Structures are given as C-alpha cells and as structure tokens.
Structure 1
Amino acid sequence: MIPVTSFAGKTVAVFGLGGSGLASCHALKAGGAEVIAGDDSADNVAKAAQAGFTTADLRAVSWSNFSALILTPGAPLTHPAPHWSVLMARQAGCEVIGDIELFCRERRRHAPDAPFVAITGTNGKSTTTALIAHLMKVAGYDTQMGGNIGTAILSLEPPRMGRVHVVEMSSYQIDLAPSLDPSVGILLNVSEDHIDRHGTLENYAAVKARLVAGVQPQGASIVGVDDIWCRNIADRLDQAGKRVVRISVKDPLPDGIYVERETVVQASGGARNEVARLGGIGSLRGLHNAQNAACASACALAMGISTDTLQNGLRSFPGLAHRMEQVGRRGNVLFVNDSKGTNADAAAHALSSFADIFWIAGGKPKQGGITGLTEYFPRIRKAYLIGEAAQEFADTLGERVPHEISETLDVAVANAARDAEASGLIDPVVLLSPACASFDQYRNFEIRGAAFRDLVTAMPGVKPVV
C-alpha cells in the first residue's frame, strides 16, 4: 500500500467504494487523513463500514470541513452531467480528484525520480501495459503494475528508485489526475469511444493528450501517429518542446519507431536500426499488437534497456487473457478469445490477423455497429451473432457474409466449431471478437471470455496451444 500523506490531518470525502475507492480509503487513513466514505450502493457502504471506515450519506453532511473529494472513475465528472457529489464538492470549493492524482502527489513528495510509466489509448492499453511490465521484470526492475488493468494504484508498493510503476489509465482516470506527470507517457491511439462520458470526440482526445503532455521534462512522450488525432497531438507536443517519440505500424518514419515486415525499426537523423523482431511471437500476432510492441519497445529503449533484453522479453511475453488469447486447437481449428474486442476498431485488429474466420460477434452494441468493418468481410467465412446486436449486425452483413443468429454464446461456439471443422480450410479460426460490450448477457468482458474458454476447453479433443 502507498500511504497518502498529502492530506494528513485533513478530512477527505471518498465517493465510490469499489476496489479503487476502498484502496484510497486505506491509503488516506494510513497517511493520517480522516476519511468520510459514501456510495450509492448500500452493499459497498456496508463493506466500507466493516473495514472500519466512517460512512455517511454525503448528500446529508456538511462539506465545509472537506479538503477534497476523491471520486471513483465510474462516476461522471462532466458528461452527460456531473455526478451529484461533484456538484456538492464544487459548491463547497473542494477539489475533485482520483486515486491516480493521489499517487502522483506522493511520488513527487517522496521519490520524484522514481520511474513511472503511464499508458493510455482507446485500444491496446492493457496488452501494452502488461508487456511493458514484463519487459521491466526481464530487465531486472522491481516492477509494480496496476491502475485500470486491475490492481488499484494505491494498493501497489510505494515509489522508490529501482522500482518502476507501470500504470494503465482510462480517460476517466486521467480526467481526475490534474497533475499527472509520468517519466514515460504512452498514447497508443484515439478512436471513437466513451463519447457519453466526454461529450465529443474532441474532448475525449484532449483528455487522452494530457497523459503525454504532462511527462516530466527529461522523460519521453511516446505517441502512436497512425490516426489523425494522435498525429496532431504529437505535433503540438513537439511545438511545446517535449521529447516526442512517434510510433507507426503503417508507414516508415524519418524519426521515430516503426514496424516493417515484422521488424521494429528505430530511425533517427537518417540512420535506421533494427531493434527487435516480432515474427513467430504468437502473443503479439496482428498489426494492433505490432503497435503495442513498438510502443513497449520505445519505452524499454527510453528506460535504457538493451536490445538483447528487449528481444528476450518480447519472445517470452505470454499475452493477456481475453486479448487474442489462443485458447486451444482441435485438429487444424484454432480457437481465439478476443472478448476484450468491445468495439469495432478493436474487432478490426483481430479480423485483420487471420484469413479464414468463423466469427462470433454481438452483445450490447456501440455507436456505429460494424459498418466500419466491411474491408474485413472477405476474411469471414461465416458469422455467428449473439446478444442485442444480432439483428443489427445481420442487417449490416446482409448477403456479403454468410451468417446466422445464434443468440447465445454456447450455440455460437458449437456451430462455429462444427462449420470450421467441416470447411476443409487449412487454418480455420473460430474467433470471439464481439465488437460489442458484454452487458446484455454478461457482467463484463472477462466473464464473457471465460465462458468462451470454458466452452472450448470442454469440447473433446481440444489441446492447448504450445
């Protein structure tokens, strides 16, 4: 745990008592603050009370003694309207921040030179975070990984020299961290997502940009430049005098890091240097994972890691569950769990990675559906559509792609496996990459992916991928 000393002797309101909220309560109390905790969920309030914290209905207390509101990222800060706790805090003149901001303040107080890597982007941030943490461990660092990827940041060990914090951040978390200042900041990409929470794509991109704009003066701002939003962000950082490392998997760069024929290349001043090879690394299959690997490589190089260590780390990376996870193989049919593909852009990365796909898609639809995936339709031998989006997706596929409305995942897996085996294709792939949220049938994408894995591994003759 990281004790939060910046509010010692003060009273702080904490709203949202899930994992990160409770971690914030523990860290604030350990640092000498008085915590008043609240939540809209009676169950969460009860858990906080059982843990020994003072709880209250924050609507019914005086805010005059509060120094700050520590807000869960799940509560809206601006759109579609500020959460009621935000309005009360602002009326009382309290700052509204999150647990990432508390970490940043503690790091500046106690170990300002301790390495801190922050990663964001619409897609790929979890894989990139896990890959960087893996590379740091291979290089011998005491590595702490957390944030949006799982472990609450304040539940990690405190910053110190020789210990690196590798932290995934959502736009919601960045919004609550006004003094975010990593030593290495990574912005992978920006595409349409979370507009309900930011109002416009411009606002969303601006929040993402803050992570790389806040990098410490001697640090590195690593920016994927294969979309117009990030290209503009990189240009603005350059103009502001930041050290920018541009990343591309689409085009060679005169200055930056790019991927060409499964090779990570570093270019500078006309010189070109191959720093790593990605060929044959199953956990980093596909163009999207090439971008993840290129950004992770740029981070490793910025941290002074040798190219030999980098290559060894890339080759030994096991990958993440639910992100192009090779679940098993039966005969020549490969089963791939990409349940984290919760929007069309993420699903495009998975579809681009294989040639003969029996595609399981659907769930709670997002804006735009799968209309942007038409260039990948020739790769799909048949689609198996589930959840609320099934009919909408069927209408989009039309006569261009054979499809069926399977409705549920168990039916889709069984039918896709049957058809893939009967296809006579050399390397057919049954791919779960839903292009949808899971919330119509599953509580989260992890549960959906675990269900897919269980269905696959329960089939006779399925063997793990070695």
Structure 2
Amino acid sequence: MIPITSFAGQTVAVFGLGGSGVASCRALKAGGAEVVAGDDSAERLAQAAREGFITADLRTVSWENFAALILTPGVPLTHPRPHWTVEMARKAGIEVIGDIELFCRERRLHAPGAPFIAITGTNGKSTTTALTAHLMREAGFDAQMGGNIGTAILSLAPPAPQRVYVIEMSSYQIDLTPSLDPSVGILLNVTEDHIDRHGSIEHYAEVKERLVVGVPRGGTAIVGVDDDFSTKAARAAEDTGKHVVRVSVQRALDDGVFLDGERIVRGAAGGTAKLVDLNGIGSLRGRHNAQNAACAASAALALGVPFDVVQRGLASFPGLAHRMEQVGQKGEVLFVNDSKGTNADAAARALSSFTNIYWIAGGKPKTGGIESLREFFPRIRKAYLIGEAAQEFSRTLEGVPQEISGTLDEAVPHAARDAAASGGHAVVLLSPACASFDQFPNFEVRGDYFRKLVLALGGVAPVKP
C-alpha cells in the first residue's frame, strides 16, 4: 500500500467504494488523513464501516471541512452531467481528483526519480501495460503494475528510486489526474469511444492527449501516429518541448519507429536500424500487437533496457487472457480467445491476424454492427453466431458459410469439428464484436467459459509464447 501523506491532518471525502475507492480510503488513513466515505450502495457502505472508516450520506453532511473529493473513475465528472458529489465539491470550492493524482503527489514528495510509465489508448492499452511491465521485470527492475488493468494504484508498493511503476490509464482516470507527469507517457491510438462520458470525440481525444503533454522535460512521449487525433497529440507534446517518439505500423517514418515486415525498426537520417524482431512470437501476432510491442519496447529502451533484453522479453511474453489468448492447439487447429474484442474495431484486429478462420461472434450488439468488417469476410471459412446479435450478423454475413449456434456450448464443438475437418492449419477464433451482457456478466466470464469448453474437447495442447 502507498500511504498518502499529502492530506495528513485533513479530512477528505471519498465517493465510490469499489476497488480503487477502498484502496484510496486505506491509503489516506495510513497517511494520517481522516476519511469520510460515501457510495450509492448500502452494502459497500456497510463493508467500509466494518473496516473502520467513517461513512455517511454525503448529501447530508457539511462540505466545509473537506480538503478534497476523491472520486472513483466510474462516476461522471463532466458528462452527461457532473455527478452530484462533483457539483457539491465545486460549490464548496474543493478539488475533485482521483487515486492516480494521489499517487503522483506522493511520488513527487518522496521519490520523484522513480520511473513512472503511464499508458493510454482506445485499444491495446492493457496488453501494452502488461508487456511493458514484463520487459522491465526481464531487465531486473521491481516493476509495479496497476491502474485500469486491475490492481488499484494505491495498493502497490510505495515509491522508491529503483521501483518502476507501469500504469494503465483510462480517459476517466486521466480526467481526474490534473498533475499527471509520467517519466514515459504512451498514447497508442484514439478511436471513437466513451462519448457518453466526454460529450464528443474531440473532448475524448483532448483528455487522452493530456497524458503525453504531461510528460516533463527529460522524459519521453511515445505516440502512435496512425490516426489523426494521436498525430495531433504528438505535435502538441513536441510543441511543449517534450521528446517525442512517433510509432506507426502503417507506414515508414523518417524520424520514428515503424513496422518493416515483422521487424520493428527506427527511421532516422541515413536509413533505418532494427530495434526488435517479432517473427515467430505468437502472443504478439497481428499488426495491432506490433503497435503494442513497438510502444512497449520504446518505453523500455527509453529507460535504458538493453536491446537484447527487450528482444528476450518480447519472446517470453505470454500474452493477456481474453486478448488474442492462445488457449491451445489440437492437431493443426489453434484456439484463440479474444473475448475482449467487444466491438467491430477490436474484432478487425483479430480477423486481420489469421486466415482460415472459424469465427465465433455475437452477443449484445453495438451500434454499427459488423458492416465495417466486410474486407475480412474472405478469411472466414464459417461463422458461428451467438446471442442477441446472431440474426443481425447473419444478414450482414450473407454469402459467408454460417450457422446460428445461439450459445458457446453449441458454437465451440461445431467450430472445432469443422476446423479439424478442413485438413489444414485453421483457427477457431472467439472475437465477438459484441458486449457480453446478454449471456455473461462480462467479457472475462465469457472468455473463461470459452477456454473451459475448448479444454473439455480433449487432446488440446498448450501453445508456447
């Protein structure tokens, strides 16, 4: 745990008692602050009270003595309208911040030299975060990984000079971190998402941009420049005097890092130099993972990790569950769990990575469906459609061999049977292009169930990274 001493002797309101909210309460109390905790859930309030925190309906208390409101990222800060706690805090003239802001202040107070890598992007940030932490550990660092990826940042070990923090940040978390100052900031990409919470794609992109603009002089901003919003962010960071490493997997760069075949190279005056080679690394298959690898490798190199250590770390990276996860192989059939592919853009990344695909898709549909995936239809040998979106997807996939499986229980054995009968290398791919909420609580449960069904087939061997 990281005790938060910057509010010692003061009273702080915390709203939202999920994982990060409870971690904030514990850290503030350990640092000498008095905490008044609130939540809309009576069960969460009762649990906080059992831990010894003061709990209250924050609508009924005076805000005059609060020094700050610590807001959980899941609570609206601006759109569709500010949460009532935000309005009360502003009326009282106190700041509204999040747990990563508390970390930033504590780091500056006690270990400003501790390397801090912050990672954001619409897609790929979890894989890049896990890969970056893996590379730093491969180099012998004490790499603390957390943030949006699962472990609340204040549950990590306290800042120390040789301790590296690798933190995934959502746009919500960036919005609550006004003094964000990572040693290395990574912006992977910006595509339309979370508009309900930011009002417009432009505001969403501007929030993302803050992460790389916040890098201090002497640090490194690493920016994927394959979309217009991220290209603008790279210019903004450069205009404020930051060292910017541009990354592309779509084109060569005269000054930057780009994909050349299966090699990641650096372009500069006089030619190119190889950084790392992705050939044969199954856990980093696909152009989207090449971007993740290029950004993670660039971050490790910026912090002095040798090239050979970075290459070794890439080769040993096991990948993340539910993100192009290689569940196993049976004969010449590879089973891939990409349950995190909850929209068409994410599914496109998976579909572009394989040929001879036996595709399991469907769930709770999202706006736009799978019309944008038409260019990948020739790769699909057969589709197995599940959930609420099955009929809609079936119409879009007219001309592609398909069946309405309805559930994973039907889709997995049918896809496995047909892939095995094809007589060549094939992949059974779960990349639903849909949310899971019609049949599963979340994409993790959906992916776990897919994995269980695959392993139940028998004769499925593990796949090495």
TM-score range, shorter chain: over 0.9
Q: Which SS does the other structure have where 1:222 is aligned?
A: strand
2:443 to 433, 442, 445: 445
CA displacement 1:424-454 (0-9 Å, x = unmatched): 3x11111011112222222221111101100
Q: Can you give the 5+ residue segments of structure 1 that lack an aligned partner in the other structure? A: none
Partners of 2:408 and 2:84 lie apart in 1 by 38
Matched positions, count: 464
Contact 1:255 1:270 in 2 (8 A): no
Matches within 5 A, 1:165-314: 165-314=165-314
Contact 1:13 1:70 in 2 (8 A): yes
Q: Can you give the 5+ residue segments of structure 2 that lack an aligned partner in the other structure? A: none
Matches within 5 A, 1:53-132: 53-132=53-132
Aligned AA (1:221): A
Partners of 1:250 and 1:277 lie apart in 2 by 17
Partners of 2:369 and 2:159 lie apart in 1 by 42
TM-score by length of structure 2 reads 0.98
* Shift in Å, 1:395: 2.5
* Shift in Å, 1:80: 1.5
Contact 2:385 2:393 in 1 (8 A): yes
Partner residue in 1 for 2:406: 407
Partners of 1:109 and 1:120 lie apart in 2 by 25
Aligned AA (1:409): L
Partner residue in 2 for 1:50: 50
Partners of 1:263 and 1:317 lie apart in 2 by 17
Partners of 2:84 and 2:407 lie apart in 1 by 38
Partner residue in 2 for 1:418: 417
Could you tell which deviates more after superposition, 412-421 or 18-27?
412-421
Q: Which SS does the other structure have where 2:457 is aligned?
A: coil
Asked whether 1:151 is paired with 2:136, we answer no
Partner residue in 2 for 1:348: 348
Contact 2:188 2:224 in 1 (8 A): yes
* Shift in Å, 1:190: 0.8
Partner residue in 2 for 1:432: 430
Contact 2:131 2:293 in 1 (8 A): yes
Partners of 2:19 and 2:137 lie apart in 1 by 25
Partners of 1:387 and 1:82 lie apart in 2 by 34
Partners of 1:104 and 1:363 lie apart in 2 by 39
CA displacement 1:166-208 (0-9 Å, x = unmatched): 0001111111111110000000011111111111111111111
Question: Percent of aligned positions with the same letter in both sequences?
Answer: 72
Asked whether 1:361 is paired with 2:364, we answer no
Aligned AA (2:363): G
Partners of 1:52 and 1:237 lie apart in 2 by 44
Partners of 1:40 and 1:464 lie apart in 2 by 44
CA displacement 1:26-72 (0-9 Å, x = unmatched): 00001111101111111111111111111111112111111111111
Q: Which SS does the other structure have where 2:336 is aligned?
A: strand
* Shift in Å, 1:264: 1.0
Q: Which SS does the other structure have where 1:279 is aligned?
A: coil
Q: Which SS does the other structure have where 2:434 is aligned?
A: coil
Contact 2:217 2:241 in 1 (8 A): no
Partners of 1:369 and 1:197 lie apart in 2 by 21
Contact 1:254 1:270 in 2 (8 A): no
Cα-Cα RMSD: 1.2
Partners of 2:387 and 2:198 lie apart in 1 by 27
Contact 2:363 2:434 in 1 (8 A): yes
Aligned AA (2:402): H
Q: Which SS does the other structure have where 2:164 is aligned?
A: strand
Partners of 2:367 and 2:159 lie apart in 1 by 40
* Shift in Å, 1:334: 0.9
* Shift in Å, 1:350: 0.5
Contact 2:216 2:242 in 1 (8 A): no
Could you tell which deviates more after superposition, 367-376 or 347-356?
367-376
* Shift in Å, 1:133: 0.4
